[in-house]
Structure 1
Amino acid sequence: MKKRIEFPLFEMTVIGILVFVLLIFALPKYMDVGREARIKTLNAVALNIDSVNRLMYSRATIKNLQHIPLQHSDVLAGDEVSINLVYGEIVA
């Protein structure tokens, strides 16, 4: 006959408390990771759009287009890419 492994009540209580404490502190951190990743991705996209807008404004300034109210322009000097500028800044 195999000898059964028995845990005393004290050891089971300590293990239960440790698991409970681990869940209290670790679980909220892992549940919020997706939200933080989405926020950081949106912030990175916003920074990229801002840097492209600054680049287009500087190119429009070089070509002296920053004073024109609405312009469909090839500021990038490419046939396949064209943007709409309002006073040198990108608009949708």
Structure 2
Amino acid sequence: MKRQSGFTLIELVVVIVILGILAATAAPKFMNLQSDARISALNGMKASLKSASAMIYSKAILAGREKLDNSDVCSNAGATATCDATESVKIVFGYPAGTAEGIVKTLQDEMVACTRAGSANCDKTKDWAYEAGGEGSAGTIYIFSTSAPDATNCNVTYKESAGDGKNPTITVVTDGC
């Protein structure tokens, strides 16, 4: 008699059930990739804000304006060079101001002005949008992705320097990403 080898139907069903259980427990981990991508993009924007503000602070030191509470520096020229309004960046104690003429201009990125609450109506051809002030806080810029589902809880907040020798505050809010 010839002996047959292989899997029985019951063994195949058991293996399929086990694979189904594993897939059901692992799938939620991989389903949230868009949220993870948005959070990573916000962290990248935070790093860009830190780098840009440090660059402008260096230019302010070279120009001798790091202790002034309201001044400007040239973003694309040397410390002693004069520049036109398109290259001038508003600074507060050497760091970019929390305005469109400050940190948003420093980033040199095409951003659209928009409200976080109305982010669904923002220009989707731009990757990033910003809201100046908001909630009565002068000197604060909220930067968010135009594809964020809840821009009020998925943004980077830049708060300008509060005084001489104080760094700007940059925070990431990811609750709504």
Compute the TM-score of the two structures, normalised by the length of structure 2: 0.43
The structure that has the greater radius of gyration is 1
Higher strand share: 2
Letter in 1 for 2:43: N
Which is richer in helix? 1
Task: Find the counterpart in structure 1 of residue 94 from structure 2.
Answer: 88
Question: How many residue pairs are counted as aligned between the two chains?
Answer: 85
Q: Deviations over 1:33-58 (max 9, x none)?
A: 22111111101101111111011011
Taking structure 1 as reference, are residues 21 and 28 closer, same or farther at Cα in structure 2, changes over 3 Å only? Answer: same
Share of identical aligned residues, percent? 25
- Structure 1 unaligned blocks of 5 or more: 1-6
Helix, strand or coil at the partner of 2:76: coil
After TM superposition, list the pairs within 5 Å mapping 1:25-40 onto structure 2: 25=26, 27-40=27-40
Are residues 72 and 59 of structure 1, via their aligned partners in 2, closer, same or farther at CA, if it must alter by over 3 Å? closer
Find the residue that maps to 2:48 and give its secondary structure: helix
RMSD: 2.0
Structure 1 position 84, deviation (Å): 0.9
Unaligned 5+ residue runs, structure 2? 1-7, 78-82, 100-177
After TM superposition, the score normalised by the length of structure 1 is 0.76
Runs of 4+ in 1 over 3 A off after TM superposition: 7-10
